[in-house]
Structure 1
Amino acid sequence: MKIMISSLALSLALCGGALAQDKFTVALDGTFAPHAMPTMDGGVEGFNVDLANTIGERLGAEMEIVATQFSGILPGLQAGTYDFVVAPTTITEERAANYLFSEGYLNTDFQFLVKADAPDVTDLNGFKGKVISVNKGSAYDSWARGLADEVGWTVESYGTATDAVQAVLSGRADATVAGNTVIAWAAQKTPGVKLSYLHSTGLVWGMPFRKGDEALRAKVEAVIECMKVDGTMAAMHKKWFGTDPAEGSAALTPRPGWGEPGFDGYVEDDHTPGCA
Structure 2
Amino acid sequence: MTVKTMLCAGIAALTFGTATLAQDTSYTVALDGTFAPHAMPSLSGGVEGFNVDLANIIGERLGAEMDIVATQFSGILPGLAAGTYDFVVAPTTITEERAASLLFSEGYLNTDFQFVVAADAEEVAELEGFAGKIIAVNKGSVYDSWAQGLASEIGWTVESYGTNTDAVQAVVSGRAFANVAGNTVSAWAVKQSPAIKLSYLHSTGLYWGMPFRKGDEELRAKVESVIECMKTDGTMAELSVKWFGVEPADGSAAITPVAGFGQPGFEGYVEDDHALGCD
Pairwise TM-score range, normalised by the shorter structure: 0.7 to 0.9
1:181-238 CA distance string (max 9 Å, x none): 2211113325766545421122222111122221211111011112222222222223
Of 80, 85, 89 in structure 1, the residue corresponding to residue 88 of structure 2 is: 85
Q: Any idea what SS the aligned residue of 2:34 has? A: coil
Paired with 1:255 and 1:8, the residues of 2 have a C-alpha distance of 17
Paired with 2:143 and 2:39, the residues of 1 have a C-alpha distance of 22
Distance 1:42 1:135, change over 3 A: farther
1:23-46 CA distance string (max 9 Å, x none): 111112222222222211222112
Distance 1:148 1:98, change over 3 A: farther
Paired with 1:111 and 1:34, the residues of 2 have a C-alpha distance of 15
Matched ranges for 1:19-38 at <5 A: 22-38=25-41
Quote the offset at 1:242 in angstroms.
Answer: 2.6
Partner of 1:8: 7
Partner of 2:19: none
Distance 1:169 1:157, change over 3 A: closer
Paired with 2:96 and 2:110, the residues of 1 have a C-alpha distance of 16
Q: Any idea what SS the aligned residue of 1:201 has? A: coil
Alignment partner of 1:145 is 2:151: no
Q: Any idea what SS the aligned residue of 2:275 has? A: coil
Quote the offset at 1:67 in angstroms.
Answer: 1.7
| Alpha carbons 1:169, 1:192 under 8 Å: kept | no
Alignment partner of 1:59 is 2:75: no
Mean CA deviation greater in 40-49 or 243-252: 243-252
Paired with 1:238 and 1:195, the residues of 2 have a C-alpha distance of 14
CA RMSD, Structure 1 to Structure 2 (Å): 3.6
TM-score with structure 1 setting the length: 0.75
Distance 1:124 1:45, change over 3 A: same
Partner of 1:165: 165
| Alpha carbons 1:145, 1:155 under 8 Å: kept | no
Matched ranges for 1:43-58 at <5 A: 43-58=46-61
Q: Any idea what SS the aligned residue of 1:67 has? A: strand
Partner of 2:208: 205
Paired with 1:116 and 1:243, the residues of 2 have a C-alpha distance of 16
Distance 1:39 1:130, change over 3 A: same
| Alpha carbons 1:260, 1:266 under 8 Å: kept | yes
Partner of 1:253: 256
Distance 1:243 1:191, change over 3 A: closer
Percent of pairs with identical residues: 64
| Alpha carbons 1:133, 1:165 under 8 Å: kept | no
Distance 1:129 1:231, change over 3 A: closer
Structure 1: give runs of 5+ residues left out of the alignment.
Answer: 1-5, 13-19
Q: Any idea what SS the aligned residue of 1:216 has? A: helix
- Paired AA for residue 210 in structure 1: R
Structure 2: give runs of 5+ residues left out of the alignment.
Answer: 12-22
TM-score with structure 2 setting the length: 0.74
- Paired AA for residue 9 in structure 1: C
Partner of 1:17: none
Q: Any idea what SS the aligned residue of 1:8 has? A: helix
Quote the offset at 1:254 in angstroms.
Answer: 1.2
